[in-house]
Structure 1
Amino acid sequence: MSQFTKPIRSFAAHLVAAAAISAFSLAAVAQGASAQTARLGGVYDVTVAGLKIARGSLSLVVQGNAYSAKAGMEPAGIGTIFSTGKGGAQASGWLGRDNVRPSRYTMASRAADRDFYVDIALGGGRVKSADVTPKLKKSPERIKVTPQHTRKVVDPLSAILMPVPANKGAKNEAVCDRTLPVYDGWTRFDIQLSYKEMREVSGRGYDGPVVVCEARWIPVAGHRPSRIKASGIENRYMEAWLAPLGKSRVFVPYRIQMATATGTLVVEANRIKVYGGKDTAAR
């Protein structure tokens, strides 16, 4: 995997998944759609140290509480110099009152002349099957993924959906009070969010307040501790800017950033367009 794809795949796996980084507004119309069908299309930019390296795309359909999304990523800007790799991901499932219940996740990408593939089926709050390529190399150091690790998890793409109960008096800051249990087919990890501050943003399809959460990546299983320590990934600063779109209590990342050895990695919407549905702020 090239130097271009390594930081993107690593960060995406922590919060938005490889080849799914473009799906920031996945739930923008989910609770405002009722039984109607709503569709969303978007284009997203990925930069490192201010230089554009990739472009993401998204198509989404939400009907009632069911969602289905397809996202893709390809090199752009200076990224075309260092990599010809590209990939895509799909996810589907249902939105609960305060959680997400995914049913299927697939991802396929090619980078540095290698193919990466994931097919995960979920149901009843657990992973029913998982097919991945390539397989993890055997190592006595690697922490084994057990059935317990694959219960009550979400796939990387569905992990960006953050419904919050409309409790009386609940503040928007409460969206940061959560831990996302993610399984990507190879590894199991948590993303722990905590409240930092409120900000105002404009443009890119959303104008208004965002909740800024600090994010911490916590390895659970499937990893090699020595590799994690050497990479320093646990100590890298990450944050997510979450926007309440429309009148719903669904929050989605407006911007995600992470410190890397080569500069700050930023994933941010370039333009978003919604078709159908109602009470949405993304236009």
Structure 2
Amino acid sequence: MRHALFLLPFLAVALPAHAAEQISISYRLDVTSVTMMTAKFDLDFSPDAVRAKARIKNKGISELFSQYSAKVMIESKIRDAEIRPAQFHLTREKRDRTKETLVSWNDGGKVSVDPPAHRKAEVRAKVEQALTGDVADPITAILRVGSSGANPCPSVQLAFDGQNVFQLTFRDLGKGEAEAGSYRGPVQNCEVRWSPIAGSSAEKGEPGEDYRVAFAPAGTLPSGKTLWLPVSLTGSIKGLPFEATVTKLDTGSGKAAQAPAQD
């Protein structure tokens, strides 16, 4: 599940983000060149908030093993040019079972989770302790990286997906050019390491994982800083290579961009 949530904010950019109040994007996740998952992501900007919703579904051969889908809705507040988490609502559907998780942040930064993240008291206590820091939902964490200034890397973010608290550590790999779905142009290449902090992944002793991400300059924020958004992500899932690819982009202007056809 963490891979799906981590991929949610991957927005290909066709127009400057400051000129578009709404962006809708569809993408696919290929594992060893086989499409395993699709998602549609909608993002709404306003002067004081960012709202997003996404729908994730298994696709292709993966449907034979797991009838899985998820809906995510988030709201983040913009205060003093900083993006702060407010609400993260996750609905997971697997066959005939539905699970919902609501994570809320009050103005003081205190986090509430409904229902509690884990049944075991000792695991729940570790998660609650980890949530005392500056933890955001996964989408807000990525948007924070992208609004950090002249370069999105290096950066360290703490995130919580309703079950696990994890750290995302970004390392600068230099500038370059990219052809990523519907984006063509300059990028800032980064390596990001996912490391479990608390929750089921940490209890199982799951090792950290490394990914490669390319950020594109998408526009200028009201603060004057460059807004960077990720346009590609590659890595491995349980030893198998994966690639996130944008398949369609619609902006509030009504214009659309299509990813190039696959050979």
Q: TM-score range by the shorter chain?
A: 0.7 to 0.9
What's the CA shift for 1:28?
Answer: 8.4
Which structure: greater strand fraction?
A: 2
Q: How far apart are residue 160 of structure 1 and its match?
A: 2.0
Structure 1, unpaired ranges of 5+: 1-8
CA-to-aligned-CA distance 1:42-93 (integer Å, 9 cap, x gap): 1101111111011100122112242111101112222222222111101112
**Native 8 Å contact 1:26 1:69 kept in 2:** no
Question: Considering only aligned residues, what root-mean-square deviation do their CA atoms show, in Å?
Answer: 3.2
Q: Which amino acid in the other structure matches residue 205 of structure 1?
A: S
Alpha-carbon distance in 1 for matches of 2:39, 2:248: 11
SS in 2 for 1:202: strand
Structure 2 segments unaligned to the other structure (5+ residues): 259-263
* 1:40, distance to aligned residue in structure 2 (A): 1.0
Residue correspondences, number: 253
User: Which residue of the partner structure matches residue 11 of structure 2?
Assistant: 25
CA distance in 2, matches of 1:190, 1:30: 29
Select the residue among 4, 23, 26 that pairs with 1:12: 4
Instruction: Please list, as runs of the form range in 1=range in 2, the aligned pairs for 1:1-283 lying within 5 A after superposition.
Output: 9-13=1-5, 16=6, 21-25=7-11, 32-33=18-19, 38-95=21-78, 99-111=82-94, 113-124=96-107, 126-132=109-115, 135-138=117-120, 144-147=126-129, 149-161=131-143, 162-164=145-147, 166=149, 170=150, 174-202=151-179, 204-223=181-200, 225=202, 227-228=204-205, 231=206, 233-234=207-208, 236-248=209-221, 249-276=226-253
Post-superposition offset of 1:251: 1.2
Shift of 1:189: 1.5
Q: Does the CA contact (< 8 Å) of 2:14 and 2:182 recur in 1?
A: no
Q: Which amino acid aligns with 1:44?
A: Y
Do the aligned partners of residues 110 and 150 (structure 1) sit closer, same or farther apart at CA in structure 2, a change above 3 Å counting? farther
The DSSP-based 3-state class of the residue aligned with 1:207 is: strand
Does the Cα contact within 8 Å between 1:153 and 1:181 map onto a contact in 2? yes
